[in-house]
Amino acid sequence: MLECRILSPCGILGYGYPMESFLEGIKQEPHAIVVDAGSTDAGPHKLGAGIGIVSRMAVKKDLEPMLIYGIKKDIPIIIGSAGGAGAKPHVEWTLKIVKEILQENDIEEEIAVIWSDIPKQRVKEGLKNNIIIPLDNTSKLTEEIIDDTNGIVGQMGVEPILEVLKRGVKIIICGRAYDPAPFAAVGIYNGFKPALSYHLGKILECGALSAEPGTTKDCILGILRENDFLVKPLNKERKCSPISVAAHTFYEKDHPYILLGPGIRLDLSKCSFDQYENGVVRVSGSEIDYTDPYYIKMEGARKVAFRTFVIAGIRDPLMIEKIDKIEEDILKQVEAYFKEIPKSDYKINFYNYGKNGVMGEKEPERFRGYEIGLLMEVLAKDQELANTICAALRSTLLHYPYEGRKSTAGNLAFPFAPSDVEFGAVYEFSVYHLIEVKDGLELFRIEYLGG
Amino acid sequence: MENTLYELAKVIRSKNSGPFKITLDILFDEKSKYERVKNSGVLTKEIISKLYNIPKTSITGLIFFDQALGIKITFLRDISSGTIGDRDVYGAQQHAPLMEILIP
């Protein structure tokens, strides 16, 4: 094979893509259609609650052309990090949609599912054997945290996907995967250099974000060759430039040219990016090392509280001038009113949008606005308590007679009635640790269905 | 003449790098502008620590990548993405303080 072409329809399955771009991609005779469906970007809620961030209808709409054209062309269709977080409920949700599309279009085709859930017992054993390493500033893992966590997944590398490709199965649903891995697996399976394959995967997993104008909602084609790869937008409106592609290599990683993945360390320091033809960029010089021992990144989320919140506007200049002091006073009043409830059972947060809502303590700019969007949040050990405290907090602030007040009818402009919003459970990433494994296959069970 | 980083850079952005870190990217479309910022010595852990009101030890990296005409600064979040007290789940709006940095 002289070159391997990989079609990435969009940055997240369910974000959508223009049909013209997709058909342009199909016209280029791709060797696989690969799409990333997950991310930790949207926070721990998806993983903790077992739900996604895109709708079922959107996923179905995106998947249908991928499956129909992919099967017709007899090429693999690979979904990475299915359902948003790649845990069992996410994979099952995706599998159901895939089956529905196949049935509606009278397609009979074998499906491979690569599960990425790690049994809690396995993680606990890892703890005992001292083969778990915390990442960044996560806390040390304990048995208690493992018990509290709703499902733990591991980020797979290329190994289990290669197993499935070797069997010739065309529809591959991956649980949690290192974002570039499903793309890289296609390149490596077809005999191309792992370093180039992984680097291309890193660029393709975001759809057309590496083009200009960049977006995750459009298709892009990656072309692997012996000693380099090309990145080619499929929409005439977008072009790749050496800067846009090099810049994308930076994207959402903590280091600009060293990327750590499952069992690998990608070194892009010697890469060159040049304009190959109009809108197409050529990349070469990517290098890879295999790590010993082999580590898999685990992710898990646990429930930490229930939330109720209220949004209100403040326009009175006298109140805005004293806002910090007023919020302090309100906190004290609410605490005094609920003195029978231990303070550790709930927490109140004020977010003053227009002042320092986005950056909080990190905001270097001095406030000079004339209105504040106030978000008041109550977190409590159960939903009823959160609702109760939020209602009291809201009514206390609405009528609070702060010093110097002239607007004695009410302090808050509520955009909605009712004003309080019951949010539900709040999660945190409780597991974000590495676990040592003997190889890239060990943790990932492959299941073959139908056909 | 001094210029702000906003005037010199093509891209100034922030984003999560995993749920526990935020990474700031400053990218240029001309080598001369990149070199000017890099050689000015203005971008240091000290200035980031001051601008963001974070200890220098929280800054895990400040790296210049010549091929991509880019600078990357990564720091630890004090609150992880999407949990209690976080204000920016994607970490996508933490770049603004960089814009006004003056480069000689």
pLDDT tens digit string along B28-65?
999 999 999 999 999 999 999 999 999 999 999 999 99
**DSSP-assigned states of every residue in A323-335:** HHHHHHHHHHHHH
Residue A139's pLDDT band, with cuts at 50, 70 and 90, is confident
* DSSP H stretches of helix in A105-193: 120-128, 143-148, 159-167, 181-189
**A117: in domain:** yes
> Are residues A72 and A151 both part of a single domain?
yes
A 187-226 near B (Cβ less than 8 A): none
> Are residues A268 and A331 both part of a single domain?
no
pLDDT at A451: 63
Using CA coordinates, name the residue in chain A closest to B22: A254
**A309: in domain:** no
Please provide residue A14's backbone torsions phi and psi, each rounded to the nearest 5 degrees: 110, -10
Nearest-CB residue to A45 (from B18, B82, B84): B82
Q: HSE (CB half, 13 Å, CA atoms) of A49? A: 17
> Are residues A332 and A378 both part of a single domain?
yes
Looking at the complex, report in whole angstroms how far the Cα of residue B9 sits from the nearest Cα belonging to chain A.
12
Residue A234, pLDDT above cutoff 80? yes
> Are residues A220 and A324 both part of a single domain?
no
pLDDT at A450: 84
Domain extent for A385: 316-412
Residue contact A252–B97, C-beta within 8 A? no
> Are residues A186 and A325 both part of a single domain?
no
d(C-alpha A370, C-alpha A315), whole Å: 6
Residue A361, pLDDT above cutoff 90? no
d(C-alpha A133, C-alpha A139), whole Å: 10
Using CA coordinates, name the residue in chain A closest to B82: A43
Nearest-CB residue to A40 (from B18, B54, B72): B18
Residue contact A246–B68, C-beta within 8 A? yes
Using CA coordinates, name the residue in chain B closest to A136: B20
For chain B, how many residues are written? Answer: 104
Residue contact A272–B27, C-beta within 8 A? no
> Are residues A386 and A290 both part of a single domain?
no
d(C-alpha A26, C-alpha A303), whole Å: 43
pTM score, two decimals?
0.93
Average pLDDT over residues B17-30: 94
All residues of chain B having their beta carbon less than 8 Å from the beta carbon of residue A273 are: 67-68
A113 and chain B in contact, CB less than 8 A: no
**A305: in domain:** no
Beta bridge pairs of residue B62? B73
pLDDT tens digit string along A268-292?
999 999 999 999 999 999 999 999 9
Q: Sign of dihedral through CA atoms A152, A157, A159, A161?
A: positive
- Hey, what's the torsion of the CAs at B5, B11, B14, B15, to 10 degrees? -170
pLDDT at A96: 98
Which two structure tokens, joined as six digits, stand for B78?
Answer: 């004090």
Q: Are A85 and A38 in contact (CB under 8 A)?
A: yes
pLDDT tens digit string along A41-80?
889 999 999 999 899 999 999 999 999 999 999 999 999 9
**A307: in domain:** no
Which two structure tokens, joined as six digits, stand for A161?
Answer: 């996907």
d(C-alpha A141, C-alpha A127), whole Å: 8
Other beta carbons within 10 Å of B98: 24
Residue A38's pLDDT band, with cuts at 50, 70 and 90, is very high
All residues of chain A having their beta carbon less than 8 Å from the beta carbon of residue B65 are: 250, 256-257, 269
Give the list of residues 6+ apart from residue B11 with CB closer than 8 angstroms, or none: A247, B25, B26, B27
Beta bridge pairs of residue A307? A379, A424
CA B37: distance to chain centroid? Answer: 13
Looking at the complex, report in whole angstroms how far the Cα of residue B5 sits from the nearest Cα belonging to chain A.
16
DSSP letter (8 states) at residue A212:
B
> Are residues A124 and A94 both part of a single domain?
yes
DSSP letter (8 states) at residue A352:
E
Residue contact B70–A246, C-beta within 8 A? yes
> Are residues A276 and A366 both part of a single domain?
no
Which residue type does A416 have? F
Nearest-CB residue to A42 (from B60, B74, B89): B89
d(C-alpha A279, C-alpha A208), whole Å: 12
Place of tokens 């709930």: A346
d(C-alpha A202, C-alpha A264), whole Å: 13
Residue contact A427–B29, C-beta within 8 A? no
Q: Are B94 and B22 in contact (CB under 8 A)?
A: yes
**A424: in domain:** no
Average pLDDT over residues A153-160: 98
d(C-alpha A287, C-alpha A365), whole Å: 42
Proportion of chain A above pLDDT 70, given as a percent = 100
Chain B positions contacting chain A at CB under 8 Å are 10-11, 15-21, 23, 25, 27, 29, 51-54, 60-61, 63, 65, 67-70, 72, 74, 76-77, 80-90, 93-94, 96-97
| Cis before A418? omega within 30 | yes
Give CA separation, A408 vs A48, A120, A310, A421, in Å.
44, 57, 21, 26
Instruction: State which H helix or E strand residue A78 sits in.
Output: strand A77-80
Average pLDDT over residues A78-95: 97
Residue A151, pLDDT above cutoff 90? no
Q: Are A401 and A333 in contact (CB under 8 A)?
A: no
Give the 3-state secondary structure of residue A137.
coil
**A417: in domain:** no
Using CA coordinates, name the residue in chain A closest to B65: A256
Residue contact A43–B53, C-beta within 8 A? no
A 372-411 near B (Cβ less than 8 A): 379
Residue contact A247–B70, C-beta within 8 A? yes
Residue contact A347–B84, C-beta within 8 A? yes
Q: Are A435 and A126 in contact (CB under 8 A)?
A: yes
Give CA separation, A214 vs A10, A14, A208, A247, B25, in Å.
11, 17, 6, 11, 16
Residue contact A252–B80, C-beta within 8 A? no
| Cis before A76? omega within 30 | no
**A144: in domain:** yes
Average pLDDT over residues A408-423: 97
Using CA coordinates, name the residue in chain A closest to B28: A243
Average pLDDT over residues A244-248: 88
Residue B4, pLDDT above cutoff 80? yes
All residues of chain A having their beta carbon less than 8 Å from the beta carbon of residue B88 are: 358-359
Average pLDDT over residues B16-37: 95
pLDDT at A37: 97
Using CA coordinates, name the residue in chain B closest to A306: B84
Proportion of chain A above pLDDT 90, given as a percent = 93
> Are residues A287 and A320 both part of a single domain?
no
The mean of the pLDDT values for chain A is 96
> Are residues A207 and A323 both part of a single domain?
no
> Are residues A279 and A217 both part of a single domain?
yes
Tally of domains within chain A: 2
A286 and chain B in contact, CB less than 8 A: no
> Are residues A250 and A389 both part of a single domain?
no
Q: Are A355 and A339 in contact (CB under 8 A)?
A: no
Average pLDDT over residues A398-419: 96
Give the 3-state secondary structure of residue B85.
coil
Q: Which of A202, A274, A362 would you mutate first to test chain B, the one with the most B CBs within 10 A?
A: A362
Q: Which of A39, A41, A149 would you mutate first to test chain B, the one with the most B CBs within 10 A?
A: A41
Residue contact B67–A271, C-beta within 8 A? yes
Average pLDDT over residues A390-408: 96
**A311: in domain:** no
pLDDT tens digit string along B67-86?
889 999 999 999 999 999 99
